Amino acid sequence: MTQLQVSMCMMLDTFEKYARTDGDPNSLSKSEVKTLLEKEMPEMIKGAKNQKEVDELIKALDFDGDGVVDFEEFMAVVAALTCCFRGVPRSKK
């Protein structure tokens, strides 16, 4: 497998590991999201170069409606956190 394929599998594995703890195994409940963030990236959240963006992201996770995060939404969160972590400029679109 290529580096990208390995990382994709690891990402999916992480999602599934937390998504199967309660309810629908194809989505993360709000409590599953919180557990995932606490366990998988505590230092990343604390050490981010742009703490304001992280705060906004966490706040945005306090969603309502069906209250679940599917894999695509999870990947969007991961992408945003990676940008914060590395200080990569984010798109202004």
Residues that bind its own copies (CB under 8 A): 2-8, 10-14, 26, 36, 39-41, 43-44, 70-76, 78-83, 85-86, 88-91
Task: Find out whether 27 and 69 touch, Cβ atoms under 8 Å.
Answer: yes
Nearer to its own copies, 5 or 59 (CB): 5
CB of 47 to its own copies, least distance (A): 11
DSSP 3-state assignment of 29? strand
CB of 73 to its own copies, least distance (A): 7
**Angstrom distances, CA of residue 49 to CA of 18, 44, 52, 78:** 27, 9, 9, 15
Nearer to its own copies, 6 or 60 (CB): 6
**Which residues fall within 8 angstroms of residue 88, CB to CB, at 6 or more apart?**
82
CB of 59 to its own copies, least distance (A): 18
